[in-house]
Amino acid sequence: MGISPAESGSPEKEQQAAGVGILLQIMMLVLSFVLGHVLRRHKFYYLPEASASLLIGLIVGGLANISNTETSIRAWFNFHEEFFFLFLLPPIIFQSGFSLSAKPFFSNFGAIVTFAILGTFIASVVTGVLVYLGGRMYLMYGLPFVECLMFGALISATDPVTVLSIFRELGTDTSLYALVFGESVLNDAMAISLYRTMSIVRKHASSAQNFFMVIFRFLETFVGSMSAGVGVGFVSALLFKYAGLDVDNLQNLECCLFVLFPYFSYMLAEGLGLSGIVSILFTAIVMKHYSYSNLSENSQQFVSDFFHLISSLAETFTFIYMGFDIAMEKHSWSHLGFIFFSILFIVVARAANVFSCAYLVNLVRPVHRQIPLKHQKALWYSGLRGAMAFALALQSVHDLPEGRGQIIFTATTAIVVLSVLLIGGSTGTMLEALHVVGDSHDGHLGESFDVNNGYVAPSFKEDGTSGTGIKMKLKEFHKRTSSFTALDRNYLTPFFTSQNEDDEEEEEALLDERISGSERGGFLGQ
């Protein structure tokens, strides 16, 4: 690293080190983009962009590790959980919500919530108990029970980043995508809540009502975050409707404000002790649905491109950063047994999560909307662990004494690398083997929903012959759906969006289309 001889004073030196560090990071970013582009052009799906970025980070980190780099430069590459949570995660999650058409998400809402809440709880507990038993049977290093549950919680956070980038790349059934996406986004909130709760339990060693506390805390976090997110979204819609900023020469002001709102929502939730991820996700959905149409045409084009750009950069950077830090951190490899058995246990726990929850969901769903076994298998297979588990594990190094956090961190690191490289590389093959690759190879999964409606969007009128219990439920959903649609059409859309007289008819046509779509798919139905 050809930097000039060190200058006077530590601030300049530090700044220079930062410069070199950032320089290296930019070079890795450019390399990742170029490599990803080349791989995609040659349709080489065994090394998706995410894996390529991770590998680049690993390799450069390894090189930096064996060379004698100054510690001040090394310090600039450490994975700061803070940086990840505050600056990298928000754009990624926002873009997920912003690019997602609301329909497939809401039409699978019940299933998604089941997988995210109940499923993640099952997975965490199963992993925790198995790791504890493994420790008691001397198969692996024995952790205290609460710490096993902490490990179970953090390792149950399947990563939206990884999953999204790979699924989007490959193109798959829209409903399956919605399930995997929705679950991985929401289960982060669950995993974080569980981890924090277990961390409190560990410190205060109170007992008994923990189970209900966990559930209460999660619900509090989830409902609170959702309200905050939806609220901020509505405020933004009203601002852009009434501020009269959709004039040509105010485009910059308009875009500045539009860009600040999602971040505001994220930080509001974090500041209130809620989950910023859930909040920004709902803000994204509301802003796309209402605020977006109040922008001038140029600004609409710009903000779409802007969020796409920012999230691509953040996504790629996250993988590089993670790879680099994995190569740089000190690891305690003396507990290979722990790693081996953890992998075994999380595979079992993931199966317990997916298949039991799918069973429950299928109990309630009508026959034609059942989640087929191949989708369940795909869902089981796609439980990659990524940056979220990594960040929580890094936190556990500070939280747990006597090197036990270090063991958890090393195990998590190994699981993350293996799952990204192995599952990431084989997801294409798996999806093809299970015949769940959708018609939508163009990468715009959310928007192709109407074409590729699979088992999600049947007409409710056709299933007059199913059992009465299910029928009742269905009717209830249908009613709720139509009432929400009516609410949206008659009150929300006119209230939050600006319908100029000249494009009112167009709007009408769009609304009609939307309604017919939601009558088929059910806007808030399960």
94 or 345: whose CB is closer to a copy of itself? 94
Alpha helix ranges (H) inside 272-386: 276-289, 297-328, 336-364, 373-381
Q: Classify burial at 327, counting beta carbons within 10 Å of its beta carbon; exposed 0-12, middle 13-18, buried 19 or more.
A: buried
If the CB atoms of residues 273 and 337 are measured against a copy of itself, the closer one turns out to be 273
Determine, following the binding rule CB under 8 A, whether residue 7 of this chain makes contact with a copy of itself.
Answer: yes
Which of these segments, 12-20, 151-159, 404-412, 457-465, binds a copy of itself (CB under 8 A)?
12-20
Q: What residues from 55 to 94 belong to the interface with a copy of itself (CB under 8 A)? A: 81-82, 85-86
- For residue 129, what are its two tokens? 């108990």
Q: Tell me how far, at minimum, the Cβ of 257 lies from a copy of itself, in Å.
A: 6
Among 133, 200, 215, 343, binds a copy of itself (CB under 8 A): 200
The string of DSSP letters for 223-238 reads HHHHHHHHHHHHHHHH
Is 315 within 8 Å of 165 (Cβ atoms)? yes
**255 lines the binding site for a copy of itself (CB under 8 A):** yes
Q: Which of 120, 342, 395, 526 binds a copy of itself (CB under 8 A)?
A: 395
Q: Is 268 in the site for a copy of itself (CB under 8 A)?
A: yes
**Which range touches a copy of itself (CB under 8 A), out of 356-364, 394-402, 466-474, 475-483?**
394-402
Nearest residue (CB) to a copy of itself, 309 versus 472 = 309
By the rule CB under 8 A, 228 interacts with a copy of itself: no
d(CA 265, CA 257): 13
Distance of closest approach, residue 197 Cβ to a copy of itself, in angstroms = 9
Taking CB under 8 A as the rule, does residue 219 contact a copy of itself? no
Q: Give the whole-angstrom CA distance, residue 216 versus residue 214.
A: 5
Task: Give CA–CA dist 215/359, Å, rounded.
Answer: 22
250 near a copy of itself (CB under 8 A): yes
Q: What's the CA gap between 255 and 302, in Å, rounded?
A: 8
Nearest of 181, 173, 165 to residue 424 by alpha carbon: 165
Pick from 63, 75, 137, 260: which binds a copy of itself (CB under 8 A)? 260
If binding is defined by CB under 8 A, does position 308 make contact with a copy of itself?
yes
Give the span between the Cα atoms of 44 and 425, in whole angstroms: 10
Shorter beta-carbon distance to a copy of itself: residue 23 or 451: 23
Which residue in the set 59, 118, 133, 267 belongs to the binding site for a copy of itself (CB under 8 A)? 267
How far is the C-alpha of 506 from the C-alpha of 500, rounded, in Å? 10
Contacts to a copy of itself from residues 420-449, by CB under 8 A: none
Give me the least distance between CB of 379 and a copy of itself, in Å please.
Answer: 28
Which whole-number Å values give the CA distances from 301 to 24, 284, 367, 443, in the listed order? 32, 16, 41, 18
> What is the smallest separation between the CB atom of 265 and a copy of itself, expressed in angstroms?
10
Torsion angle of C-alpha atoms 520, 521, 525, 526, degrees rounded to 10:
130
CB of 328 to a copy of itself, least distance (A): 19
Residue of 30, 223, 367, 472 interacting with a copy of itself (CB under 8 A): 30
Q: Which stretch binds a copy of itself (CB under 8 A): 141-149, 193-201, 322-330, 476-484?
A: 193-201
Return d(Cα 341, Cα 139) in angstroms, integer.
8
162, HSE (Cβ side, Cα atoms, 13 Å)? 33
Q: Which residue type does 232 have?
A: V
Name the residue nearer to a copy of itself (CB basis): 15 or 334. 15
Confirm or reject binding of residue 9 to a copy of itself (CB under 8 A).
Answer: yes
Residues 37-56 that bind a copy of itself (CB under 8 A): 37
Q: Is 367 near a copy of itself (CB under 8 A)?
A: no
Q: Among 343, 448, 376, 427, which Cα is nearest to 164's?
A: 427
CB 458 within 8 A of CB 369: yes
The reply on whether position 399 binds a copy of itself by CB under 8 A is: yes
* Separation of alpha carbons 239 and 320, rounded Å: 38
Least CB distance from residue 331 to a copy of itself, whole Å?
20
Of 35, 59, 227, 263, which lies in the binding site for a copy of itself, with binding defined by CB under 8 A? 263
By CB under 8 A, is residue 16 in contact with a copy of itself?
A: yes
**Is residue 77 helix, strand or coil?**
coil
How far, in Å, CA of 272 to CA of 452, rounded?
Answer: 40
Torsion sign across C-alpha atoms 260, 265, 270, 275:
negative
Region of 134-142, 298-306, 356-364, 457-465 interacting with a copy of itself (CB under 8 A): 298-306
User: How many Cα neighbours within 13 Å face the side chain of 387?
Assistant: 33
Residue with tokens 């163009």: 442
Side chain identity at 22, as an amino acid letter?
Answer: I
- CB–CB of 388/157 below 8 Å? yes
Among 132, 181, 302, 381, contact with a copy of itself (rule: CB under 8 A): 302
* Binding status of residue 256 toward a copy of itself by CB under 8 A: yes
Number of residues that bind a copy of itself (CB under 8 A): 61
223 binds a copy of itself (CB under 8 A): no
DSSP 502: G
Residues at the contact surface with a copy of itself, assessed by CB under 8 A: 2-4, 7-12, 14-16, 18-20, 22-23, 26-27, 29-30, 33-34, 37, 81-82, 85-86, 196, 199-200, 203, 250-253, 255-257, 259-260, 263-264, 267-273, 276, 302, 305-306, 308-309, 312-313, 395, 398-399
